[in-house]
């Protein structure tokens, strides 16, 4: 009989762009025991054909309803891949920006949660006030696509309103007051000493497959 490995741990970091998720991922990969595979949104978008971008990076506001059915499918594929890695014993860390502010509700997050049924997945809300995000964008080229400051501020506001709905997490960190290393340390403590994660179980119950 083939021996099944212990499932790898999963950490999903959910927050708006420039909230500091990728910096936390870097610390986790550098300092946590064992290999931690990064299957975040940027990696997945790099695999998506250009004509279907931004794919799972589609912003809130219902701007591209033509892409939304594919976005839901891409999210399912991402989370099935996360689950497959974990079942093989590999730890996975994911930086993502979930929202349901599409042209119609898509129920993507509950669907993704069901993909991780029975796996040790910790869902972390990465909080950061919009004003801090705007300062980070100014420091790193917020107008790189030619957008005005007002339009960028509007995008940040929409992300901030949408990404933490419904706000069901196992753990929250605030990157406006904590360094990436401090956030990673809090996550490590929860993984080591905290109760079993339950956020994805609760999210999976929000909607049932149609």
Give the 3-state DSSP-derived string for 73-94, with helices as H, strands as E and coil as C.
HHHHHHHHHHHHHHHCCCEEEE
Question: Which tokens in the block code for residue 109?
Answer: 């997050």
pLDDT at position 142, please?
54
- Chain-centroid distance, C-alpha 5: 25
Q: What is the pLDDT of residues 65-76, one digit of tens each?
A: 999 999 999 999
Q: How many CB atoms lie within 10 A of CB 112?
A: 24
pLDDT at position 206, please?
85
**86 contacts: CB under 8 Å, gap ≥ 6:** 7, 8, 9, 10, 92, 116, 119, 120, 121
Q: Which of 68, 114, 170, 192 is closest to 56 using CA atoms?
A: 68
Name the phi and psi angles at 115, rounded to 5: -65, -25
pLDDT at position 145, please?
60
Domains, the chain, in order of start with CATH, read 10-204 (3.40.50.300)
pLDDT at position 138, please?
82
Whole-angstrom CA distances from 61 to 34, 103, 157, 158, 162 are 39, 7, 11, 7, 9
The per-residue pLDDT string of the chain (210 residues; one tens digit each, 9 = 90 and over) reads 566 789 999 999 999 999 999 999 999 999 999 999 999 999 999 999 999 999 999 999 999 999 999 999 999 999 999 999 999 999 999 999 999 999 999 999 999 999 999 999 999 999 999 999 998 888 876 555 667 788 888 999 999 999 999 999 999 999 999 999 999 999 999 999 989 999 999 999 985 544
Query: Are the C-beta atoms of residues 208 and 111 closer than 8 Å to each other?
Result: no
Cis preceding-peptide flag for 50 (omega within 30 of 0): no
pTM summary value = 0.93
Q: What is the DSSP letter of 113?
A: H
> Cα–Cα distance between 106 and 158 in angstroms, integer?
17
Query: Are the C-beta atoms of residues 40 and 150 closer than 8 Å to each other?
Result: no
> Cα–Cα distance between 199 and 110 in angstroms, integer?
10
């Amino acid at each position: 009989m083939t021996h099944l490995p212990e499932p790898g741990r999963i950490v999903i970091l959910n927050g708006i762009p420039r909230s500091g998720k990728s910096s936390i991922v870097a610390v986790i990969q550098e300092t946590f025991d064992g290999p931690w595979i990064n299957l975040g949104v940027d990696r997945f978008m790099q695999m998506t054909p250009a004509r279907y971008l931004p794919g799972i990076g589609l912003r809130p506001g219902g701007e591209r309803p033509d892409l939304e059915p594919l976005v839901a499918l891409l999210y399912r594929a991402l989370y099935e891949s996360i689950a497959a890695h974990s079942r093989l014993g590999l730890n996975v860390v994911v930086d993502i920006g979930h929202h349901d502010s599409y042209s119609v509700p898509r129920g993507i997050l509950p669907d993704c949660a069901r993909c991780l049924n029975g796996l040790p997945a910790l869902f972390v809300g990465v909080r950061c006030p919009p004003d801090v995000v705007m300062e980070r964008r100014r420091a790193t080229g917020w107008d790189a696509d030619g957008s005005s400051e007002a339009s960028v501020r509007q995008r940040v506001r929409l992300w901030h309103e949408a990404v933490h709905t419904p706000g069901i997490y196992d753990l929250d960190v605030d990157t406006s007051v904590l360094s990436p290393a401090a956030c990673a340390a809090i996550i490590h403590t929860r993984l080591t000493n905290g109760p079993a994660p339950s956020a994805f179980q609760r999210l999976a119950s929000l909607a049932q497959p149609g």
